[in-house]
Amino acid sequence: MYFHVQQLINEIEQDEPDPAAANALQEGLGGQFGEMRTMMQYLFQSINFRGPSAKPYKDLIQGIGTEEISHVELIGTTIARLLDGSPRYNGKPTDPVDKPGSGGATPLEIATHESNIHHYLVGAQGALPVDAAGNPWMGSYVYNSGNLVLDLLYNLMLESTGRLQKCRLYEMTDNKTARSTISYLIVRDQAHENAYAKALETLGVNWRTALPIPKTNAEKFPEVARLVEMGLQSKQYSFDLTNLSEAGKIFQGMSPSNDGTQLDASQQAPEGVPMTIAPERFEEFAPGADPELRALIEATAEMEMADIEATFGRM
Amino acid sequence: MYFHVQQLINEIEQDEPDPAAANALQEGLGGQFGEMRTMMQYLFQSINFRGPSAKPYKDLIQGIGTEEISHVELIGTTIARLLDGSPRYNGKPTDPVDKPGSGGATPLEIATHESNIHHYLVGAQGALPVDAAGNPWMGSYVYNSGNLVLDLLYNLMLESTGRLQKCRLYEMTDNKTARSTISYLIVRDQAHENAYAKALETLGVNWRTALPIPKTNAEKFPEVARLVEMGLQSKQYSFDLTNLSEAGKIFQGMSPSNDGTQLDASQQAPEGVPMTIAPERFEEFAPGADPELRALIEATAEMEMADIEATFGRM
Amino acid sequence: MYFHVQQLINEIEQDEPDPAAANALQEGLGGQFGEMRTMMQYLFQSINFRGPSAKPYKDLIQGIGTEEISHVELIGTTIARLLDGSPRYNGKPTDPVDKPGSGGATPLEIATHESNIHHYLVGAQGALPVDAAGNPWMGSYVYNSGNLVLDLLYNLMLESTGRLQKCRLYEMTDNKTARSTISYLIVRDQAHENAYAKALETLGVNWRTALPIPKTNAEKFPEVARLVEMGLQSKQYSFDLTNLSEAGKIFQGMSPSNDGTQLDASQQAPEGVPMTIAPERFEEFAPGADPELRALIEATAEMEMADIEATFGRM
Amino acid sequence: MYFHVQQLINEIEQDEPDPAAANALQEGLGGQFGEMRTMMQYLFQSINFRGPSAKPYKDLIQGIGTEEISHVELIGTTIARLLDGSPRYNGKPTDPVDKPGSGGATPLEIATHESNIHHYLVGAQGALPVDAAGNPWMGSYVYNSGNLVLDLLYNLMLESTGRLQKCRLYEMTDNKTARSTISYLIVRDQAHENAYAKALETLGVNWRTALPIPKTNAEKFPEVARLVEMGLQSKQYSFDLTNLSEAGKIFQGMSPSNDGTQLDASQQAPEGVPMTIAPERFEEFAPGADPELRALIEATAEMEMADIEATFGRM
Amino acid sequence: MYFHVQQLINEIEQDEPDPAAANALQEGLGGQFGEMRTMMQYLFQSINFRGPSAKPYKDLIQGIGTEEISHVELIGTTIARLLDGSPRYNGKPTDPVDKPGSGGATPLEIATHESNIHHYLVGAQGALPVDAAGNPWMGSYVYNSGNLVLDLLYNLMLESTGRLQKCRLYEMTDNKTARSTISYLIVRDQAHENAYAKALETLGVNWRTALPIPKTNAEKFPEVARLVEMGLQSKQYSFDLTNLSEAGKIFQGMSPSNDGTQLDASQQAPEGVPMTIAPERFEEFAPGADPELRALIEATAEMEMADIEATFGRM
Amino acid sequence: MYFHVQQLINEIEQDEPDPAAANALQEGLGGQFGEMRTMMQYLFQSINFRGPSAKPYKDLIQGIGTEEISHVELIGTTIARLLDGSPRYNGKPTDPVDKPGSGGATPLEIATHESNIHHYLVGAQGALPVDAAGNPWMGSYVYNSGNLVLDLLYNLMLESTGRLQKCRLYEMTDNKTARSTISYLIVRDQAHENAYAKALETLGVNWRTALPIPKTNAEKFPEVARLVEMGLQSKQYSFDLTNLSEAGKIFQGMSPSNDGTQLDASQQAPEGVPMTIAPERFEEFAPGADPELRALIEATAEMEMADIEATFGRM
C-alpha cells in the first residue's frame, strides 16, 4: 500500500520556459530507459518476487521502485514547468483566446514549430507519457524474468543507461530548470547502480574497476558535483513507513563505484520540498475559463474551514 | 513524494491456482481500463494540474491516483497467486527441472495450452503489464486534456468502464482468490465513480437517476454486497501523510449513486493486511536454484540483527 | 459526402452461434488484408488522387472504397451474430446476472476458453476492430504512394490476398452464418481484382493466364459457385448517387480472369436486405438492464408518431 | 449499405499551401480524438447495437457516424490542399525531377525541414492516417462497451475533446484553408455534443450549466460565429436515404448547450459542394509522369461518350 | 557484405508435426529475446561501432551477429516443419480444397483451435516474425547505446535471458524436432554469454562464480549434455570469409562459466547440414495449385542444364 | 548458413555530416519499404518456401534476400557517417564533456533541433531501426502469404515502392554521402524489380510497357546514370558460396524494363570495398572515455601477433 506527501523529492530551479528542453526530458520520463519504466519494472519485480529467504533483495527493489514514483512526479513536474507559458516566452503575442490572429500571429503558433505538437494540442502545456521522439510508453519495456541474477543484472544496465542518457541530456541544454532535475537524477541513478551492483557482489561478481557506467566525468558537471559531495550517490532510502526493509543488509560497505564512500541505508527518505499548482492557461482552455464555472470552483474551495477541520482534523 | 508500507490494501482469499482466471484478471491490471491506466492517468493529471483555486479537485485526483498504485499491487499479487504452482495443480507432473520429460509429460507443458504462454515463458508464473488478450499497456491510454470538466468526465467514464469489466470478470470465474479482489475493486471503482460524479455536480451537472454505471445489481454478488454494507463505495481515502488534502470539500453530502449513503472522506487510509513472498519455482529457474547461490543469499539474509538494528533502529 | 440505407449489402444466413468462427472472421474485418483496410486505403487514395485527366481511375477506386464500408458493416454484423448468445449455446448455464455461480458455472465462463476474451470482456458479444490474433487495426496498413501504377498494383495484390485469406477461412469453418458472408466476399474480392487488373491492362500490362489469384477452385465451394453463376465477380457498382462515375470506361470488355464473362459497370448498387437490432444481453450489462432506465428508453421510443411525422415527413 | 456523392460536405477556402498547418490538422484526421476515430467508433457501435426498443439511439449514432465519413473526406482533402505545391511555395526551386540540385537546392528539400517527412516521402503531398505527432491510427482507440449509458457518455466526451483540440488548432494557424475546415468541425462537434447530451438527458442526466465543453468563447472566432448564427450546432442530419431514422425522437427540444436554440433533425443532409482533382506533381512521380503512360490514360479517358452514355445513362 | 550457403547450421530432428510447440518456439524467433533480436542488435552495434583501437570487440559482436542470421534460419525452419502438415496429423480430414466440409470437418479446422491462427490464415503453415503471444517483432527492441561496457553488459543479459527462455521451452515440449533446435540454441547462447562475459573481463569485471545464467542444470537435459560434451559452449566462430576477425584476442583462455574448458576461436564456421524444400499444401493454396501454373514452373525448372552450366560454371 | 566479409557492397562518398539527410535515409533502412523489410521478407519467404520443383524461384528470393543484408549494412553505415561529428559541423562548440555550457552553447545542443533526437540521445550518432518519422520497424511489415504468384507480385510492388521512395530521397538532399548510397540502391532496386517481373513472366504475365516503376527518368540523375551504364540494373548476384543457385533459370533473356539489356546472373557477388571503424565521440560517452578503460582495450588489442597467428593462421 502506498502513501503520498504533498512535496517534491527535490527542488526544481526557476528558469525561462524551454519547450525544446521539455521535449528532450520526455526521454527521461516516458522513454525506454526513463522513470516510468524503472518505476513499473521494480513494481512488477516486487509483486512477482520469489524466495522468502531473499527478502533483502526484494526490499532493495521495492525501495528503489517507490523512489521512482517520486522521480516520475519530479521529472513530470519539471517538463510541465518548462512548457508552461512557453507560447508567450518565445515572443509570440499573448492574445487571449477570444482574439485570435490579431497582430498577425496566433496564440498557439509555437506548437507547430516545436518538438512535439502534442504538448500544446493533446495536453495543455504539460508532461506526456511518451519519449522524446513521441513514442508512447509501452508495457513491453518491463523486464521481469523471475531469475534473481538476471533481474539484478538488467536493473544495473537499466540504471546505467538512464544515467548515460541523462548525461547526454545535460549536454543538450543549459536551462537551469532542466539541469537541476537532470543532475539530481544522474546522481540518484548512480546510487541505484550501486545498489544493484552491490547486490550482484553478494551473489558472486567482483566489479573491480568497471563502475560506474558511463565511466566518465559526470561529476565535473557542477550541479552533479555538488550533489556527489553531499554523498547522494551512496544513499539508499527505504520509503518504508513500517521500517521493515532489510535492504540495508545489502546496501552497506564500500561503494562498488570506487569513489571511497560508504554505502548508507539508514535514512527513510529525503526531505521534500513544497509543491505548487500551475496557473491557468486560457489559450489551452485549461482548466476552462468560463466565469460561471470559476465561481463554482471557488465556492467549493472557499468552504468553511471549520467544516473541513471537523472532517480532517488538523491540517 | 511517495511512501510504501509492506501491506496489501485488501485481503486476498486462498483458493486453487487458476491460470485462466489469472489471464482474465490481466485486463483489470494492464488493460485499457485497468489499474495501471487509472494510476498513470491520475498521476499525470495531478502533475499537470492547472488552477491554484481548484486545489480540492487536484487533491481528489491525487488521492485516488495514490490508491490506484495499491490497486496495481493488489491485482498484480492476485494474478501471481492464481498462476503460482499452476503447472502442478492441473495434474501435470512436478518433476524437478533436471528430469524433463520423464513420465511422458514435461514440467511446463501447461504453458502451451493456457491463455498467455508468456506467464510461464517470459515471466515466472507472475503478473505481466499486458491486458487479457496479451497487448502490452500503452502510454497513449492516458487522457489528460487539461480541461477540468473533460478530465473529470473522462475519469467518471473510466471508473465506470472499469467497474463494468470487473462485473463481467466476476461472471467469468468463481475462483475465490479472483473474486475477492474483483469484488473489492468493483466497490472501490464505485467509490471513485462517486468522487468524480460529485466533482461534476459541484460544476453544474445533476446526475439524478443515471448513476451508478453499470446500473445493475452488482450488489447482489455476495462478496460485493458485504463490502457495500460496510460502506466502502462511499469512502474516499486521502493517502496523504501530510493531511493537506482538501478532497473532502468535494467528497461530502449524499452519494450521487442514490443509495442513501453519506460520502465520507475522513479516513486517511484503510487498514492493510500483511504481505508474503512467493515460494521458489525450480521449473522456472526462479529465483535461480543453484545451491552455491542460495548459500550466498542466505548468508546475506542471516546478517547479525544487531548490525541491522544499529543501522535501521527498531523494526 | 456519404449516405446510408438501413440495409445490409448481402443476406447473412442463420446458424448456431460460433465464437471460434467469429474470431477467425475478425481477420476479414480488422486484419491487415481485411475490409477496414481496403475501405481506408481506397478512401485515402480517392482523397489524395492526382491527375484530373485520370478521373476514371479515381472513380473506380472511389466506387470500390464505398462498397468496402458496406463490407465492414456486413462482416462486422456477421461476427456479432456469431458471438451473440454464444455463452448459452455452448451448454453453459444462462443464469441471470444476479445469481452468479449457481449450479457451479458462471454466466460468462466461456470467455476464458474462447479465442479472444475481449469479445466478452471489452465488447458485449460484438465485433472488434482487431484481427484474428487480437492485434488492433493500424493506420500504417494503408498504402497510398500517389504513383498510379503502384497504387493499382498494390490494390490488386491486396484484393487477391483478401480473397486468399477468405478461401482459407472457408476451409476453417462450416458454420452457415460465417460461410454466407465469406463466400460473398470471395466473389466480390474477385470483382475488385478484375477491376484493378483491368485498370492495369489499360496502362500496359497483359495478365494473360495469371488471374485470378489464388488461381484455384474457389468456385467449387458451392456457395461461391452460386454467386459466380450470377456473375457477381464481374460487376462493378458505383454507389454514386450523382451518377458521375466514369469507372465504366475502365471496367468493361472481357474479364481479365479469363472466365469468359463481360465486365459490367451498369448497376449503381445491389439490392440490400433488411437490418435487425440484436437482443439485450443481461450478462453483459448491455445495453444496461435497469428497469427504470428501460422505462426511459421506451418512453422515448414510444413518442407520438404524429410528432415524428410532423418532423420527418413520410417514413 | 453506404452511398457516395461527388461532393464535399463543406466548402474549403483557398489560401497558400502550409505544411505546418497540414500537419497540425492530421490530429483532427488520424488522432485519438479525430474524425477517423469518431467514424469507426460510431460504425462499430451501430453494428453491435443491442436493444430493439432503443432504435432511436442507434439511429442517432448511425447518423452521426455516417456524417463522420464525410468529415474524414473533408479534413483529408483540406490537408492534401495545404500540402499540395508546398515545395514551390516556400521559395524552393521548382526544378523538374530531371534536374535535381541545380541552383543549389533540391526539388523536395522542404521535406527534411517540415513536421512530417512522410507527407513527401511515403505519400505524395497528401493526407496520411496518422496523428500530428506521426503516430498511426489504432483500432484500440475505438470504444464500444455495449452499455448504452457508457457509450453515450464516452461519445459526449469524445466529441467535446475533439472540439477542444480543434479550438486549439484554430489558435495555431491563421491559414484560411485550415481555418475554414477547423471552424466547420468545431460547430459540428458541438452539434454532436448536443446529440449525445440530449440522449443522456432522456436517460436521466440534467446537464444544467455544464455544456458546451470546452465552455468557452469559440463562438468569438469569426468563422465559427458565422456558422453558429446559421444554427449548424443545433442540427442533426440523418444521411439516411430510406428515411427510417428515428433520431429525431431524441434530437428535439431545447439545446442542452443553453444557447436558446431548438434542436432540429428535419434535414436529411446539408448541401454539398463540388469536388476537384489535384494536379500532377512530377517531383513526387505522382501519378507518374511517363508520356507513354499519359497517352494510355488519356486514351481511356477520351473514350467515346456515346459508349459511356449507353452504359451509364445520363451523366 | 554477406554470403549464404544452402546449408542449415545444425541438424533438425524428425518428429510429428506439433503446432503448439511451433508457437512456443516463436518466442525464440520473434520474441523480445529471440534470434531476430540478437541478429539485429549485433548488426546495428557492428555498423555503429566506435573506436578503431577496439576492433577485437567489434569483430566479436560481428561474428556473433552473423551466426544469429543462421539461427533465425534454423529456428524459422524448425517452426515451419512443426507446422507443416499439422492439419492432417491431428486427426482432421485431409480433403482436397475442392471438397470442403465433406465428412463433417473442414480442411483447416485446426486453425481455430491452435495457439496462433495466423500460422494457417496469414502464413501457409510457416514461421512468422512474431513472438509466442502473437506480438510482432519491433525495432525498439534493439539496444545500441554506443557505450561499449553497456552494450556488452546488455548483450550478456540478452544471451542469458534467451538461454533462460529456451530452458523453459525445453520443459514445455518433448517433441524431438523442437528439442533438437532448442538444445542447440541453449548451448550456443551459453557460448555467446561466455564471449560477452570474457569481453567484460578484459574491461575489469571478475565474474567469479556468477556464470552461467541461469545457473542451473541445463546440461542435465540429455540433448544439451551431448553438445556440451562436444564443447560447443566454448567455441566462437568468425563466419568471416576474409579471416580478418580479431575476436580471438578476447575469446581465449579459461571459460568464465567455470566449466574448466578453454575458449576456442580457431574455427571459421561449423559444418552445415543440407536444406530441403517443403512440400506443397493445397489447403493453403501454397504455392498455388493450378495445373497450368505448375507446368510453367516445371518448364522453367527443367531448362537445359547445359545452359545453366554455361552461365554458372560448376555446380 | 551465412558468412560475412569485412567489406561494404558499395563505396560511400565523403561529404559533410548532414543529420537531416541522415534522418531522411532512415526510411530506406527502417521504413515500411526499406532494406530491413526486404531483408526480413525474403528471409522468411525463403525459409517457408513450398514446392521442391520451384527451386529456381526460391533461389531467386534467397539471393536477393542475402543482398539485402548487405544493403542494411550499407545504408546503416551511410546514416552513421552522415551523423558522425554533426554537432561540430553545424557550428556548435565542441567542448569536451567536462566543460558543458561554456561559451553559451552545449555540446549536444543540435540534438534538440534536428529531426530525430534519438540519434544523439538513445544512439551515439548512429543508425537506428526506425523510419524517417521515428516509428520503430515492425514484424507485421513482412508479407509471406505462401502463394507464389502473390509473393512475387508483392515483392515487385515492394521493390518498386522502395525505388520510388529513394527517387524522392534523391530529390531531398544533394549531400554526396547520401546520394552515393541512394543512387546505388535505386539501381539495385530496379534489378530486383526486373527479377520479380521476370519471374512473373515465367508464370504468365506480360509486362509490355509497364516497367520500370516509377516509370521515370531516374536515369537522368547523374549518379544513377553512371551505374545504369555499367548495367547494374540487369545483374543478379547469388551470394551463394556453394554455387547451387538456380536463379539464373529465371533471371535471363531480355530485361522486362525494356531498356534493351540482357539479364545476367553469372556473377556470384560484386567486388566489395574496405570498411572502417568510426572515431570515438566523447560527448556521447561512446565507446566510453575513461583512460583506464582505454588502456585495457589497447592492451587487448596489442596482444602479441604471434599468439594471434598461432590461433587464426594467416590474416
Query: D132 and A109 in contact by Cβ < 8 A?
Result: no
Please answer whether residues D108 and D19 qualify as being in contact, where contact means their C-beta atoms are separated by less than 8 angstroms: no
Q: Which of E50, B131, D1 is nearest to F81 (CA)?
A: E50
pLDDT of residue F185 exceeding 50, the answer is yes
Q: Is the pTM of this model over 0.90?
A: yes
- Report the number of secondary-structure helices (H) and strands (E) in chain D: 10, 3
Residue D67 CA to residue A79 CA, distance in Å, equals 39
Residue F16 in marked binding region? no
CB contact under 8 A, B112 and E21: yes
CATH of B7-279, one of 1.10.287.110, 1.20.1260.10, 1.10.10.60, 1.20.80.30: 1.20.1260.10
Output helix, strand, coil percentages for chain D, rounded to the nearest 5: 55, 5, 40
Mutate to test the interface with B, among D145, D166, D168 (most CBs of B within 10 A): D145
pLDDT value of residue D55: 94
Instruction: Answer whether D153 sits within 8 Å of B150, measured CB to CB.
Output: no
Backbone φ/ψ region at F10: left (φ over 0), alpha (ψ -120 to 50), beta: beta
How far F144 CA sits from the closest chain A CA (Å)?
Answer: 26
From residue F72, give the alpha-carbon distance in Å to each of A65, A149, D131, F31. 39, 35, 29, 12
Task: Flag the least confident range among B136-145, C201-210, D180-189.
Answer: C201-210
Residue C314, pLDDT > 70, answer no
Q: What percent of chain D has pLDDT over 70?
A: 89
Dihedral sign from CA coordinates of B115, B120, B126, B131: negative
Q: Cell numbers 509490355 label which residue?
A: F208
Cβ–Cβ below 8 Å for F290 and A135: no
Is the pLDDT score of B238 beyond 80?
yes
- Give D306's pLDDT tier (boundaries 50, 70, 90): very low
Q: What is the pLDDT of residue D313?
A: 44
Instruction: Name the residue in chain D with its Cα closest to that of A285.
Output: D214
If one counts every other C-beta atom within 10 angstroms of the C-beta of residue D296, the result is 17
pLDDT score of C309 more than 60: no
Burial label for E188, CB within 10 Å (0-12, 13-18, 19+), is: buried
Q: Which residue has the higher pLDDT, A243 or C89?
A: A243
* DSSP conformational letter for D270: P
**From the first residue on, what is the mean pLDDT of each consecutive set of 10 residues in chain A (315 residues)?**
98 95 98 98 98 94 98 98 84 46 68 92 97 98 97 98 96 95 97 97 91 79 94 96 94 94 96 93 84 77 49 42
Q: What is the pLDDT of residue B293?
A: 74
> Is residue F158 over pLDDT 60?
yes
Least confident segment among A203-212, C209-218, D157-166, D248-257: C209-218
Residues of chain E with pLDDT under 70: 88-105, 216-217, 289, 301-315
Residues of A in contact with B277 (CB under 8 A): 49-52, 54-55, 58
Using a threshold of 3 CB pairs under 8 A, tell whether chains B and F touch: no
E183 Cβ partners below 8 Å, 6+ apart?
E170, E221, E223, E224, E226, E227
Q: Is A4 annotated as a binding residue?
A: no
With contact defined as 3+ CB pairs under 8 Å, the chains touching A are B, D, E, F
On whether any CB of chain A is under 8 Å from the CB of B216, the answer is: no
Task: Kindly tell me if the per-residue pLDDT of B307 is higher than 50.
Answer: no
- pLDDT at residue C102, rounded to an integer: 38
Tell which of F171, F190, F224 to mutate to test the D interface (max D CBs under 10 Å).
F171
Asked if F211 and F256 count as a contact pair (C-beta separation under 8 A), the reply is yes
Q: Which pLDDT score, from 0 to 100, does residue C41 have?
A: 98
pLDDT of residue F314: 41
D211 touching F (Cβ < 8 Å): no
Q: Is the pLDDT of residue C100 over 60?
A: no
CA A232, CA A250: separation in Å to the nearest integer?
17
d(CA E2, CA E63): 12
Minimum Cα–Cα distance from B1: chain A residue: A70
Angle, CA F261 vertex, CA F257 and CA F267 arms, to 5°: 105
pLDDT tens digits, one per residue of C164-201: 999 999 999 999 999 999 999 999 999 999 999 999 99
Q: How far apart are CA F169 and CA B241, in angstroms?
A: 58
Q: Omega of the bond prior to D279 within 30 degrees of 0, cis?
A: no
pLDDT of res. E301: 66
User: Percent of chain E having pLDDT more than 90?
Assistant: 74
Asked if F299 reaches chain A (Cβ–Cβ under 8 Å), the answer is: no
pLDDT band with cut points at 50, 70 and 90 for residue C99 = very low
pLDDT attached to residue A22 = 97
Instruction: Write out pLDDT tens, residues D129-138.
Output: 999 999 999 9
Residue B311 pLDDT exceeds 90: no
CA–CA distance, B101 with B122 (Å, rounded to integer): 21
Calculate what percentage of chain F has a pLDDT beyond 70.
89
**Cβ contacts of D217 on chain A, cutoff 8 Å:** 97-98
Q: Is E165 on the interface with B (CB under 8 A)?
A: yes
Cβ-nearest to D149 among B153, B206, B210: B210
pLDDT of residue C282 exceeding 90 = no
Amino acid code (one letter) for C160: S
What are the E-state strand segments in chain E? Answer: 2-4, 7-8, 273-274
The alpha carbon of E120 is separated from its chain's Cα centroid by a whole number of angstroms, namely 21
Q: Which CATH class is domain F7-278?
A: mainly alpha
Distances (CA, A) of D171 to A127, A211, D127: 20, 51, 21
Chain segment F271-310, per-residue pLDDT in tens: 999 999 999 888 898 998 577 777 877 787 665 444 444 4
13-32 of D, contacting F, C-beta below 8 A: none
C2 touches chain D (CB under 8 A): yes
SS3 C141: helix
At D10 the three-state DSSP class reads: coil
Inter-chain touch D279–C239, beta carbons under 8 Å = no
CATH code for the part of the protein at E7-277: 1.20.1260.10
What's residue D36's pLDDT?
98
Give yes or no for a contact between D258 and A290, defined as CB atoms under 8 angstroms apart.
Answer: no
Query: Do the Cβ atoms of E117 and C135 come within 8 Å?
Result: no
Whether E246 contacts chain F with CB within 8 A: yes
CB contact, 8 Å: F51 with chain E? yes
CA distances from C134 to B68, C48, C101, C116, F136 (A): 27, 30, 28, 7, 20
Peptide bond into A212 cis (omega under 30): yes
Q: Alpha-carbon distance A186 to A163, whole Å?
A: 5
Residue E212 at interface with chain B, using a CB cutoff of 8 Å: no
Q: What is the pLDDT of residues D20-39, one digit of tens each?
A: 999 999 999 999 999 999 99
A217–E contact, CB cutoff 8 A: no
Average pLDDT over residues B86-109: 56
Assess B112–E contact: CB distance below 8 Å, yes or no. yes
Residue B299 has what pLDDT? Answer: 79
CA dihedral C288→C293→C298→C300, nearest 10 degrees, is -110
Cα separation, B153 vs B158, whole angstroms: 9
Asked if D168 has any chain B CB less than 8 Å from its own CB, the reply is no
Please determine, for residue D298, whether its predicted confidence score (pLDDT) is greater than 60: yes
F93 has a chain E CB within 8 A of its CB = no
B68 is in an annotated binding site: yes
Local confidence band at C302 (pLDDT 50, 70, 90 cut-offs): low
Q: Does E139 touch chain C (CB under 8 A)?
A: no
Distance CA A92, CA F12 (A): 44
Q: F240 to chain E: which residues are within 8 Å by CB?
A: 3-6
Write out pLDDT tens, residues C110-156: 898 888 999 999 999 999 999 999 999 999 999 999 999 999 999 99
B249-299 residue pLDDT tens: 999 999 999 899 999 999 999 999 999 999 988 889 899 857 777 787 777
Q: Residue ranges of the domains in chain B?
A: 7-279
C-alpha E261, offset from chain centre: 25
Reported as a pLDDT band with limits 50, 70 and 90, residue B183 is very high
Nearest Cα to Cα of residue A315 among F111, B242, B31, B162: B242
What is the predicted ipTM?
0.93
Local confidence band at D72 (pLDDT 50, 70, 90 cut-offs): very high
Over residues E213-233, the pLDDT tens digits come to 887 667 789 999 999 999 999
3-class DSSP state for residue B286? Answer: strand
**Which of C123, C139, C146 faces D30 most closely, judged by CB atoms?**
C139
Interchain CB contacts (distance < 8 Å): A and E: 76
Sequence-distant (≥ 6) Cβ neighbours of residue A93 within 8 angstroms: A102, A103, A105, A107
Q: How confident is the model at residue D150 (pLDDT cuts 50, 70, 90)?
A: very high
Q: Which helix (H) or strand (E) covers residue C274, if one does? A: strand C273-274
Q: Which run of H or E residues covers position B3?
A: strand B2-4
Output the pLDDT for position F93: 46
Cβ atoms of A153 and A134 within 8 Å: the answer is: no
**Whether residue B91 has pLDDT greater than 70:** no
Residues C20 and E112: beta-carbon distance below 8 Å: yes
> Nearest CB to A48: which of B69, B123, B248?
B123
Mean pLDDT along residues C216-235: 89
All three cell numbers of B79, joined, read 494474478
Residue E46 near residue E194 (C-beta atoms within 8 A): no
Closest residue, chain B, to C125 (C-alpha): B168
Interface size between C and D, measured as CB pairs under 8 A: 353
- The 10 Å Cβ neighbour count of residue A268 is 16
Query: How far lies E96's CA from each of A90, C114, E101, E268, F203, in Å?
Result: 71, 28, 10, 47, 23
Residue C18 marked ligand-binding: no
Does residue F157 belong to the interface with chain C, where contact is any CB pair within 8 Å?
yes
Best mutation site among B2, B84, B148, B241 for testing chain A: the one with the most A CBs within 10 Å? B2
E135 vs C58, C132, C246, E27, E78, CA distance in Å? 36, 12, 43, 10, 19
Work out the average pLDDT over F214-221: 77
Closest Cβ opposite residue E97 in set C21, C172, C217 = C217
Residue B187: strand, helix, or coil: helix
Q: Calculate the average pLDDT of chain B.
A: 89
Q: Which residue has the higher pLDDT, E93 or C109?
A: C109
| C115 in contact with F, Cβ within 8 Å | no
